[in-house]
Amino acid sequence: MMTSDPANLVGTFVVEVGTRQAWPFIGFCDDRGIKATEFRLYIDASWTIGDTTGDADSDDTWMMSALEINNRTVSNVRVDAGSNLRIDFLHAPSLTVSGEPTATTAGDPWWLGDP
């Protein structure tokens, strides 16, 4: 079941990282139910993984940084009052996505959807 609530990411794990058209994404798998389900976090804003910062146009930087969280399990998720998203992973750096749109943001700064 696809989730629209970021808090439901806790316990899922990363199965893919990539870029779809202009948006970096992370694919998550939830295998705790009868049938495993997958969904993606799409990013159209600035982001930080560990000490590396980029935006939706930072394809190479995104891929090199996001590989650090591939196959990692989500341990904690927080969305603050400014819609900034922080995802903590076991044994990997955290991902923070700004809730603030940039000049080129086409819709929401980040969203969860089907792969």
The four Cα atoms 49, 111, 114, 11 give a dihedral, to 10 degrees, of 50
pLDDT over 50 at 1, yes or no: no
Percent of the chain with pLDDT over 90: 75
Q: Total structural domains in the chain?
A: 1
Is residue 30 in some structural domain? yes
State if pTM tops 0.75. yes
- pLDDT score, position 3: 60
Examine residue 92 and state whether it is found in any structural domain, yes or no: yes
DSSP labels, the chain: ---S-GGGGTT-EEEEEEEETTEEEEEEEE-SSSS-EEEEEEE-S-EEETTEEE-TT-HHHHHHHHGGGTTPBEEEEEE-TT--EEEEETTEEEEEE-SS--TT--S-SEEEE--
Q: Does a structural domain hold residue 43?
A: yes
Domain presence at residue 108: yes
Residue 37 belongs to some domain of the structure: yes
In a domain, 40, yes or no: yes
Question: What is the model's pLDDT at position 33?
Answer: 85
Range of the domain at 43: 6-113
- pLDDT tens sequence across 46-95: 999 999 999 878 889 999 999 999 999 999 999 999 999 999 999 999 99
Q: Is 1 domain-assigned?
A: no
Beta bridge partners of 112: 41
Domain-located, residue 103? yes
